[in-house]
Amino acid sequence: MAASQQKLTLFSLTAMVVGSMVGAGIFNLPSRFGTATGPFGAIIAWAIAGTGMYMLARVFQALAEKKPDIDSGVFAYAKAGFGNYMGFLSAFGYWLGSCLGNVFYWVLIGSTLGRFFPDFFGDGSSATAIVVSLVGIWAFHFMILRGVEQAAFINTIVTVAKVVPILVFILALIFFFNYAQFSDNFFGGADMPVKSLVAQVRDTMLITVFVFLGIEGASVYSRFAQKRSDVGSATILGFVGVTGLMVAVTLLPYAALPQSAIAAVQQPSMAGVLEAVVGHWGAVFISIGVLVSVLGAYLAWSLICAEVLFAAAKSQDMPKMFAAQNANRVPANALWLTNIVVSLFVISTYWSRDAFNFMLDMTSVTALLPYLLVAGYGVLLARRGEGYETTPEQRGRDQFFAWVAVVYTLFMFAAAGLKYVLLVAVLFVPGTILYFWARREQRLTLFTPAELIVFAVTLIGGLVGAYGLLTGIITP
């Protein structure tokens, strides 16, 4: 396939960002926020998350401009700034989080079908739901093997199609806006347990991370861009559009139902809210939108998963077998490993008490380390002045953006809590085997002294997390 056929336009790159972000998360916002807070806390939460993620988007934009030679930026930036092992952890964490996100998508598909066929699909982790998920995973697998460009084109079409149900939801709730109901819910519904504003905001933080995942979609696909400048533009355009949709989807239900009713709605909660406002057709309409949206997002994330493993192998941060491409220039071995891991996680949901929210929160936490390292690299680059030779006046601004992004991601770690950080460490420890494998292939030293400390901390965290799981102190 000729190189010219691979290039993605600004519109296609923006669609990759929107397609990655508008997936499962936006359809679950009403009940996740309804469980945690009222409109006042929600506004504060979106102000924090929007500011933090906007700064992160600006870091991605700056890095795309100042370091145009770095492709598949998410983990490559971490390696450039903090060395080989941190680059590996970023790549592995980002890949693992993408795999967990794909598992979440299949659980949501099962949960959506369970609204209409409860005996078969239940909450999305029944035996039937798992079998349907496995069939879907491998159907997508063989479609993607036929070519990245074909899959990217399908993603563009799906992205346009799935925004329509969200817009209908927003317009319907604006039409039926009840100011008195909104006022009753504003500081937290009278029918909800009393908790502090800080606790309300904290309890929304992981869902805001989840719905912003994909903000780096254009950066990951930078090697396919027609123009490097389009990578940064697509990131900002996608961010602004999707943020507006998410804030509206979160706040408008408070003007339609009591907070306790919103909190109790079955996932996908957008369907239940619209059903309460306009009748049963609303639930059917949104559910169809969920299925189209989630399948489209799953396609985007399957592409991103394989691309991250492929790029890491090309830069010798993963075993070289994952750098292999088939005749259609698809990283086939990376795709096989990704979908085997996704399948195993899907099967494991059968034993989870709340597979839906557990997978959502785990996906969010695994994304935080790559984001933190990208923000940290943004700080280092601006401090050193690398890439700013012709634009020195931008250094102070970009350093400010990067520092805010660093503080935001650290705050997200604190909001997530120790449980999820330890569970991520449990997965990172065996993942380091891939790092050992790659370093042995190249006959390179495993760790620098600083990297050895990082590995030791990761190992201790993993052992503590494994002990917690075995003793029941930590429950998935």
Q: What is the pLDDT of residues 432-454, one digit of tens each?
A: 999 999 888 888 888 889 999 99
Task: Tell whether the model's pLDDT for residue 63 goes beyond 50.
Answer: yes
Residue that is written with structure tokens 């709605």 in the block? 265
Determine the pLDDT at residue 404.
Answer: 96
Determine the pLDDT at residue 42.
Answer: 94
SS3 of residue 226 by DSSP: coil
Q: Dihedral sign, CA of 217, 219, 225, 227?
A: positive
79 within 8 A of 94, measured Cβ to Cβ = no
- Identify whether 118 is preceded by a cis peptide bond (ω within 30 of 0): no
Residue 83: enclosing H or E segment and its boundaries? Answer: none
Determine the pLDDT at residue 1.
Answer: 36
Determine the pLDDT at residue 101.
Answer: 83
Q: What is the mean pLDDT of residues 13-22?
A: 73
Determine the pLDDT at residue 2.
Answer: 38
Q: Which of 16-30, 386-400, 444-458 is least confident?
A: 16-30
More confident position, 89 or 303: 89
Q: Which of 165-179, 208-222, 405-419 is least confident?
A: 208-222
Residue 21 falls in which region: left (phi positive, over 0), alpha (psi -120 to 50) or beta: alpha
The span from the CA of 208 to the CA of 217, in Å, is 17
Determine the pLDDT at residue 213.
Answer: 76
Q: What is the mean pLDDT of residues 14-34?
A: 79
SS3 of residue 425 by DSSP: helix
Q: Which residues contact 111 (CB under 8 A, 6 or more apart)?
A: 121, 123, 124, 266, 267, 268, 356
Task: Tell whether the model's pLDDT for residue 68 goes beyond 60.
Answer: yes
Q: Which of 105-109, 133-137, 464-468 is least confident?
A: 105-109
60 within 8 A of 219, measured Cβ to Cβ = yes
Tens digit of pLDDT for each residue in 252-288? 999 999 999 999 888 788 999 999 999 999 999 888 8
CA atoms in the 13 A half-sphere facing the CB of 73: 34
Here the tokens at position 380 are: 């280092």
Q: What is the mean pLDDT of residues 340-351?
A: 88
Tens digit of pLDDT for each residue in 308-320? 888 888 888 889 9
Determine the pLDDT at residue 156.
Answer: 64
408-419 b/e (C-beta count within 10 Å ≥ 16 → b): bbeebbebbeeb
Task: Tell whether the model's pLDDT for residue 148 goes beyond 60.
Answer: no
The span from the CA of 65 to the CA of 69, in Å, is 9
- Cα three-residue angle 386-392-398, rounded to 5 degrees: 75
28 within 8 A of 207, measured Cβ to Cβ = yes
Whole-Å CA distances, 308 to 9, 221, 393? 21, 9, 33
The closest alpha carbon to 475, from 355, 364, 377, 332, belongs to 355
69 within 8 A of 222, measured Cβ to Cβ = no
- Identify whether 268 is preceded by a cis peptide bond (ω within 30 of 0): yes
Tens digit of pLDDT for each residue in 93-130? 888 888 888 888 888 888 888 888 888 887 777 889 99
Residue 5 CA, chain-centre distance (Å), reads 28
How much is the pTM? 0.82
More confident position, 308 or 84: 84
More confident position, 439 or 232: 439
Neighbours of 396 (CB within 10 A): 10
- pLDDT confidence of 179, banded at 50, 70, 90? very high
Q: What is the mean pLDDT of residues 145-170?
A: 73
Q: Which residues contact 91 (CB under 8 A, 6 or more apart)?
A: 74, 75, 78, 79, 308, 309, 311, 312, 317, 318, 370
- pLDDT confidence of 192, banded at 50, 70, 90? confident
